[in-house]
Amino acid sequence: MVGDVTDDRRGGVTENPDPDVAAYVVGDIHGHLDELKDALRAQGLIDDADKWAGRDVELWFLGDFVDRGPDGIGVIDFVMGLHEQSDGSVHTLLGNHEILLLGTHRFGEKQVPGESFTRSFAHSWAINGGMIADQDSLTDAHVEWLTSRPLLAHQDQHLLLHSDTLDYLDWGGTVAEINETVAGILTGEDLAAWWEVWLKMTTRYAFRGPTGIANAETLLHRLGGDRIVHGHSVISDQLGIHPTQLEGPYLYAGGKVLGVDGGLFVGGPCLVVPLPWVPED
């Protein structure tokens, strides 16, 4: 699984505490590259030279590499490097902020047709934590790599996605159909369709409240899996605590949904969550 040893955050090494872990998932990074490296190193997934150190384990990033933090493109470059080093064991899903970054790069201040108010990717990017350095450093290689990433995936019986929304179903009835539909949009020039992807992926909280369990069951029934794993919605906001008080992921909706966004950009932890995840007693 993950190597024979792992950093214990105190400079030493210990035996990997859970050799049966099949995969790890990482929530929203938002440009915080140093914190990401520290968290991956603590799990033994990278070495002291910041190179891939996992063996049979799979590592999934659930999107939102950019905006709101100092080095979004640095995060993308680092993850692209891990993907190459791992021979395909490191995977990435698209988050809504990747859509925003790419849409701003492609369409800029061009007005979205059919909107009753003035709308553009550049305006939404600016008011949602867009970083000028990310746009300035974005290359054709980054664009090509990002637009080839899927929106949804399965890891064993886990349904992995970025946003806690049912709106993915508007693009198809299977994971493959949804990924194919959105991939077609992101390789095209239809501004309205791009904008719809951005809007749908900003929605959240579908699995909270009195309809949360039913909504989770609907998505799992349609797309497959036993548990949804998502980022996008900061866990501390859902729990009503300060981000610095958060210690782990959030299992809710009758155990059918696992939230993994620690709120790194507001002072929370960078969560690297093992799958399957079992809450402590």
Phi-psi label, residue 172: left if phi above 0, alpha if psi -120 to 50, beta otherwise:
left
Supply the mean pLDDT for the chain: 92
Predicted confidence (pLDDT) per residue in 149-175, tens digit: 999 999 999 999 999 999 999 999 999
Which of residues 55 and 92 earns the better pLDDT score? 92
Contacts of residue 229, defined as CB under 8 A and 6 or more positions apart, other chains included, come to 25, 62, 155, 158, 159, 160, 161, 257, 258, 260, 273, 275
CATH class of the domain comprising 18-275: alpha beta
Task: Find out whether 59 and 82 touch, Cβ atoms under 8 Å.
Answer: yes
Q: How far apart, in whole angstroms, are the C-alpha atoms of residue 212 and residue 226?
A: 15
The two tokens of residue 126 are 């600016």
Lowest mean pLDDT among 6-20, 105-119, 193-207, 208-222: 6-20
Instruction: Specify the pTM.
Output: 0.92
Q: For the chain, which residues make up each domain, given as ranges?
A: 18-275
Identify the helix (H) or strand (E) that includes residue 158. Answer: strand 158-161
Confidence (pLDDT) at 37: 98
**Mean pLDDT score, 41-45:** 96
* pLDDT(240) > 60: yes
Task: Find out whether 206 and 164 touch, Cβ atoms under 8 Å.
Answer: yes
Q: How far apart, in whole angstroms, are the C-alpha atoms of residue 54 and residue 40?
A: 10
Confidence (pLDDT) at 281: 66
Task: Find out whether 28 and 265 touch, Cβ atoms under 8 Å.
Answer: yes
